[in-house]
Amino acid sequence: MRLVLVAEEAAGARAVRRLASGPHELVAVLSSDSPHAGPAREAKRLGIERWPAELVKTRQLARRLCSAEVDLLLNVHSLHVVHPEVLASPRLGSFNLHPGPLPDLPGLNAPSWAIFEGRRRHAVTLHRMTVEVDGGPIAYEAPVDVTDEDTGLTLSARCAVAGVQLIDRLLEDAVGAGVPCRPQGLGRGTFHGREAPFAGRLPWRLSSRRIVDLVRAADFRPFRSPWGHPSCRLEGTEVEVLRTHPAQGSPAAPPGTVGPEGIVAAGDGWVRVEQIRADGVAASPQEVLRPGACFDAVELEA
């Protein structure tokens, strides 16, 4: 088979390596050409032609795919909306790897939303692409557990590993019994765009568990977080919260009040703040979080 891959991020780079080492011909990789674009670097290293990622939005790519007699178009973590004529051009169809369960969790940053929402079970989904983003029939799904220690980065990485295995199944079935497809059905969840919960702010009125989940959902260190780190103001200082854990006790003080040794009152208990940045610079919580001080209030509209 002749394949074209549209890819970004670490998951896209993993897919480039896997497809290039398989029995099928990887005709081209569409990816951004920034210094941080892993798929573009992998394509160059392996001698695979790279096309601009933005081509997926044009009829020009549909003509290219037809001329190259492409059998399958695969999309792995690229955020460009694909032109309808491009979707229809490959002989066997176009498929998208979504790092979340469908129809329950469509849109961007699904692993982070899963952590923030306190989910214990997650999934990756490989589905046929249609004009409705993340709305096409499902071919395969693989479960992924969510642990209390997961961050946005670690859960996304496990989703990438599980997703590449689904691509293997797709390629096997495409040359064999055929690719299964079932409608997504009812119960489509909220479609999330690029926005972060609470516009990137940290409301201390949340429960301690929910605050900890929000902070780790945004944690992609050492890489840049798509949400940034939850932030709040303390006596004129902008504080980004990078790492937290629940702490014991029930504070009598209002949410956002700083207690001893870097703990802060939440809606139902204490949160231990372990790593922060103050006005953009790494700082010790004990030096910045003065006992008795109180963070500015943040509204609870996610």
Give the pLDDT confidence score for residue 302 in this predicted structure. 54
Give the pLDDT confidence score for residue 187 in this predicted structure. 80
Give the pLDDT confidence score for residue 271 in this predicted structure. 97
Give the pLDDT confidence score for residue 244 in this predicted structure. 97
Number of domains composing the chain:
2
In a shared domain, residues 138 and 106: yes
Domain of residue 280 covers 197-288
Here the CATH number for the domain that contains residue 61 is 3.40.50.170
Any domain includes 7: yes
The pTM for the full model equals 0.92
Q: Is the dihedral of CA 109, 112, 117, 121 positive or negative?
A: positive
Give the pLDDT confidence score for residue 301 in this predicted structure. 62
Query: CB-hemisphere CA count at 13 Å for 47?
Result: 2
Give the pLDDT confidence score for residue 33 in this predicted structure. 79
In a shared domain, residues 170 and 201: no
In the predicted model, residues of the chain with pLDDT beneath 50 are none
- Of the residues 142, 174, 206, which one is the last residue of a structural domain? 174
CA 59 to chain centroid, in Å, comes to 28
User: 205 vs 93, 258, 268, 295, CA distance in Å?
Assistant: 48, 13, 8, 11
Averaged confidence pLDDT in the chain: 94
pLDDT, tens only, 206-215: 999 999 999 9
Residue 22: CB atoms within 10 A of its CB come to 14
In a shared domain, residues 261 and 114: no
